[in-house]
A and B are shown apart, each in its own frame.
Chain A
C-alpha cells in the first residue's frame, strides 16, 4: 500500500530547474518526507528531507505544502549527471522502528 505517488517519468532541459512532484495525502503529523535518487545501477543516494518547513541544501530544495499532502523536489540547475530515478518516501522519526518503503520513483531524464 503505497504511501506516496510520483509520476513515472519526466524530462527536463539541461540548465533548467527540475521540479519533481510527490503526493503523500495520508502523511501523519510525525512523518518526514525524504528524497533519494539512484543513478544508473548505483545504490540510492540521500538528497534531502523535511517535516513541514521548506528545506535547502547543496543538492536541492524541498518545498512542502502547508497541508503537507504534497511536496516538490527542486534541482535548480539540472545537469546531465542529474539523470536518475528519484524516490519520495515518508517515514516517522521513531528511530529504527519504521521500515522505509521505496516505490518505483520518477525517472528523470535531463535533455542536452
Chain B
C-alpha cells in the first residue's frame, strides 16, 4: 500500500464542528491527493498537493482546506462540518512501484456528520 496511512478511519461528528483528516506517507512522494466518494458520483478530487506548502483545488474544494507542512503529511480540514460532507475520503499518492504516474490510494476515512 505504498506506506499510506489515513486517520481516523472512522469518525462521527456533529454539524458545525471542525474535523481534520490526516494522510501520512512514508515514501517521500511529492504529489498527494484528497478525494471524496459518494454513491452515484464516483471519486471526486477535493484538493491536491505538489510539494510542501504547494496545494491546489480540485473539483469539489468548497468547504475544505488543506495543509502540507512536511512531505509526509497532507491534512484535510473541514472548518465547520455539514451533513453534505458525510462521505468516504480517500488519500492518494502519485508514484510507487507500479509507475511514476500511477495513483496509490489509502484505505479511506469514513466521516459521518450528524
Contacts and interface: CB of A to CB of B under 8 A. Distances in A.
Contacts of A105: 42
Best-buried of A32, A45, A102, A104 by chain B (most CB within 10 Å)? A102
Given A32-B101, A49-B99, A102-B43, A43 B50 contact: no
Given A46-B98, A101-B45, A103-B42, A36 B108 contact: no
Contacts of A104: 40-42
B88 interface: yes
Interface in B97-114: 98-108, 110
B88 to A, nearest CB: 7
B101 A46 contact: no
Given A42-B107, A96-B50, A91 B58 contact: no
Contacts of A103: 42
Interface residues of B, number: 29
Contacts of A49: 99, 101-102
B90 interface: yes
A87 B43 CA distance: 10
A91 B103 CA distance: 12
A68 B57 CA distance: 30
A100 interface: yes
B11 interface: no
A32 B100 CA distance: 13
Interface of A: 32, 34, 36, 41-46, 49, 87, 91, 93, 95-96, 99-105
Sort A-B residue pairs by CB-CB distance and give the 7 closest, nearest first.
A43-B105, A102-B43, A104-B42, A102-B42, A46-B102, A96-B31, A46-B98
28 contacts: A32-B101, A36-B103, A41-B108, A41-B110, A42-B108, A43-B90, A43-B107, A43-B108, A44-B90, A45-B105, A46-B98, A46-B102, A49-B99, A87-B43, A91-B101, A93-B101, A95-B94, A95-B100, A96-B50, A99-B48, A99-B58, A99-B59, A100-B45, A101-B59, A102-B35, A103-B42, A104-B40, A105-B42
